[in-house]
Amino acid sequence: MEETSQALQDFTASYCDNWQQVRGSWPVSEQLHGIASPCVVSSEESVVYWQPQPFSLAKNLDAVERALDLRIQPAVTAFYTTQFAGDMAAQIGGCRLSLVQVWSEEDFVRIQENLIGHLVMKRRLKHSPTLFIATTESELDVISVCNLSGEVILEQLGTQKRETLAPSLAEFLKSIQAVIGE
C-alpha cells in the first residue's frame, strides 16, 4: 500500500508542478466547479482551482468489500484513500486517460457505490473482478486493476477484451505522464 500511496503522491506533485510551470496556477477544473471539497483553493466564473489534501477518512474500502464479500487489492485501497484531489489527465503510450480521484468525503461514498456497481456487472457477466482507476477518451474503455493479479489493464466494458498496461498500480503510476489542460 505504501508504494502505491507514494507513487500517487509523486505523480500528483509532478502534475501540480507542471500546472504551475505551464499555467502559473494550481490545476483547474470546470467539472468540479461549485462542488464543495477541502481541495478548493479558489473559484472563478466556471472553474475551480484545486490542490491535493490529505485523506481524512478511514483508509479502507470496507463498504465495497462487505457488499460483494470480496477482498480488495491493497493497492486499490491505497489509491482511493491517499488524498483528496481532482481527477488528473495523463497518458501512457498513446492512451490518454483521467485518473479518478476522491474530491470530498461525499465523493468517496459515490466512488464506492460506483465500484460496487462495476463489480456487480463483472460478476453478472462472469468476468474476473476489476476495479476502475481511470477513464479514457472512449466511453467503452476503462483502466482498471485486476483484483486477482494486481495488474493494471485497459479493459473494454462488457467484454473480456483487456490489455495489460503495468504489472502493478505503483508501476503504472510511475509510468504515466501528466497532461496539462489545453
| pTM score of the predicted model | 0.94
Which of 86, 109, 97 lies closest to 37 in space, CA to CA?
A: 86
Q: Is it the case that residue 181 has pLDDT exceeding 80?
A: no
More confidently predicted of 1 and 59: 59
Q: Phi-psi region for residue 24, left (φ > 0), alpha (ψ -120 to 50) or beta?
A: left
Determine the average pLDDT of the residues in 50-57: 96
Strand bridging mode 40-43 / 28-29: unpaired
CA distance 132 to 145: 6
Q: Is it the case that residue 182 has pLDDT exceeding 90?
A: no
Within the chain, residue ranges assigned H as helices are 2-23, 62-68, 74-81, 105-124, 169-175
Which of 160, 102, 86, 103 lies closest to 130 in space, CA to CA?
A: 160
Secondary structure (3-state) at 58: coil
Q: Which domains does the chain have, with CATH numbers?
A: 2-178 (3.40.1580.20)
Taking the CA atoms of 164, 165, 170 and 171 in sequence, report the sign of the dihedral they define.
positive
Percent of the chain with pLDDT over 90: 95
pLDDT band, very low/low/confident/very high, at 94 (cuts 50, 70, 90): confident
pLDDT band, very low/low/confident/very high, at 166 (cuts 50, 70, 90): very high
Tens digits of per-residue pLDDT, 33-53? 999 999 999 999 999 999 999
Determine the average pLDDT of the residues in 98-113: 96
